[in-house]
Chains A and B, each alone.
Chain A
Amino acid sequence: MKPFLKINITATVILIICFFGILNLTGLSKPVRNFIYSISAPIQENFWQKGNKVSDFFDFISRSKSLGEENKKLLSDNQELISENTWLKELKKENEMLRQALDIELQKDFKLILAEIISKDISQDFILINKGLKHGILKGRAVVTSQKALCGRIDEVYDDFSKVMLISNPEISFDAKIQSEDKDEVYGVIEGKTNSALYFNLIPQDKEIKKHDIIITTSLGGIFPKGLLVGRIKEIKQDDVQPFQQAEIEPFFSLKDIETLFIITEY
């Protein structure tokens, strides 16, 4: 290869790298992305809904054999929940009466903004939603499903769209606890492990945890509001050599089942 040509290629590569560097540092890539998302949003929404329907159909076929057993289990779960619900309603009444007696203002509900999922980044745990800066979305806000199951937090805000970092992203970690009626609560840290995998770490060895225990968020760290559902313990990894216990969690949210999400703007 001629030396002149070599210098020419090197200069072009350096120029391209500098161009992308400037594009990222000055934030000029944001309008480009926002523009392409605006064009693609209607098609992507359509694709998302169609994909959901087709995958539901195949899910139904593959699960048709175990539907009977699942139905029985759900019925028994439902009865348990009804009895628990009645008990909780009684407690709520009692709580309200006590609050009135003590003149404590009730905690305000969350202020929510509804958003639709448009796409998912296949290499990382990020999703794109159709609400952005114009709709009052800010970076760091928590994103939940209609059942108050935590999905993630807003990571990047464009004019009309936002990117949500899912809780299964390895860059995310937050405090959580096991939901229990006992005073002795079990606290730990949730860490993402990509591909919808979650781990509950830093659980002291002396604390007893069980399979199917429900994990909820705490207000420690101030990342998420307290009481949001995170997931259910799937597998416990206990090692006497390690100072802490670890548990694998099955998240409550599944991208396959949801189309709409809520962004908590105030809590």
Chain B
Amino acid sequence: MIRKLAIIIIFFYILALLQTSFLVHFSINGMVPNLILISALLINFFEDPKKKDGILSAFIGGFFLDVFSENIFGLKILILTGTACFIKLMLNKYVRFPFFKKRF
């Protein structure tokens, strides 16, 4: 668990540094891709809906977005975590993927 947490923190930290310092120079019409948001959403979409790592990823991603932005601290944590919870809920209740086999 600690190893997984450390990997998620380092991954999102590197993404935050990249998107605030490196990718700024490659903006198109002033727009830079939000790697943290994209990654957090992808993790939540493609992870097993029963697992909770996606929500943890969204929380950590939101934390780094908040640290490196001028918004109210905690706003992006809440938005990303809320979105991750919503995706999980939708996937659990209404969507069935053929590649996630149920274990009985």
Q: Which residues of A contact B (CB under 8 A)?
A: 16-17, 19-21, 23-24, 29, 32-33, 36, 40, 43-45, 47-48, 50-52, 54-55, 58, 118-124, 126, 128, 155-156, 163, 165, 194-197, 255-256
* One of A19, A23, A43, A123 near B34 (C-beta < 8 A): A123
Give every chain A residue within 8 A of B19 (Cβ-Cβ). Answer: 122
Distance in Å from the Cβ of A196 to the closest Cβ of chain B?
Answer: 5
CB neighbours of B74 from chain A (8 A): 16-17, 19-21, 23-24
Are A120 and B17 in contact, CB atoms less than 8 angstroms apart?
no
Residue in chain B with minimal CB distance to A35 = B67
Instruction: Give the chain B neighbours of A51 by CB distance below 8 A.
Output: 21-26
> Contacting A17 at CB < 8 Å: which of B29, B69, B78?
B78
Task: Name A118's closest neighbour in chain B (CB-CB).
Answer: B21
| B20 neighbours in A (Cβ, 8 Å) | 44, 119-122, 128
Asked whether any CB of chain A lies closer than 8 Å to the CB of B90, the reply is: no
Measured CB to CB, the closest approach of chain B to A236, in angstroms, equals 21
How many angstroms from the CA of A51 to the CA of B18 in the assembled complex? 9
A29 CB to nearest chain B CB (Å): 4
Q: Which of A23, A40, A121, A122 contacts B17 (CB 8 A)?
A: A40
B73–A20 contact, CB under 8 A? yes
Instruction: Check: B38 CB closer than 8 A to any chain A CB.
Output: no
Q: In the complex, A47 Cα to B15 Cα: how many Å?
A: 12
- Within B54-104, which residues are at the interface with A (CB < 8 Å)? 67-75, 77-78
